[in-house]
Amino acid sequence: MLKVGLTGGIGAGKSEVSRLLVGYGAVLVDADRIAREVVEPGTPGLAAVVAEFGEDVRADDGTLDRPKLGSIVFADADRLAALNALVHPLVGARSAELERAAGPDAIVVHDVPLLTENGLAPLYDLVVVVDARPETQLDRLVRLRGMTEPEARARMAAQATREQRRAVADLIIDNDGSTAELESQVREVWAELTRRAAAG
């Protein structure tokens, strides 16, 4: 099994890269999706978050009120750390479960937005970083995700710098260009992953 960490700044195009890699046969373990699953209604994860942050973070329909929780944790580093201490072990356990189910010959791509920030690079056989210039990221966040420019800049500023991400990368995919250019690079990365997996 080859364990790959895939990361990139917000708006860099990591989701598109993970979609393309799945098309080639990668097994995707999506940390963001798992983080949502472990706090769904009825889970021990949601119960723990509500116990820590109060009933206010539960919406009327019983789901986690993400905007409400976000307004608490993104304004207070200690509260964010408390949330991470609850959710990260659950995400880690579920990720490990999915990885074990993938089989010994699989190329398992862990899509981890905060890989650099949380010092997770050593957990993987290699790290692939999807990179884009800050102005490209900003344009995508405003144009495609409907954020205001101040919102987009704040989200970007809360993440690792471009230099920090590139420093942990074994392979870098440059995503400032066209879709065709991106697809070509992902094909090359897949060939390299396949080669490394075969070499053991």
Considering the entire predicted model, what is its pTM? Answer: 0.85
Q: Which residue has the tokens 């080859």?
A: 2
The token pair that represents 109 in the structure block: 């791509």
Q: What's the topology of domain 2-199? A: Rossmann fold (3.40.50)
The tens digit of pLDDT for each residue in 71-111 reads: 888 778 899 899 989 998 999 899 999 999 998 999 999 99
Helices (H), 74-161: 77-102, 134-143, 149-157
Ordered by start, the domain boundaries in the chain are: 2-199
The token pair that represents 55 in the structure block: 């009933």
Structural contact between residues 14 and 186, judged by C-beta atoms closer than 8 angstroms: no
Strand, helix or coil for residue 179 = helix
The tens digit of pLDDT for each residue in 26-58 reads: 999 998 899 999 999 999 999 999 999 999 999
- Give the pLDDT band of residue 113 (cuts 50, 70, 90): confident
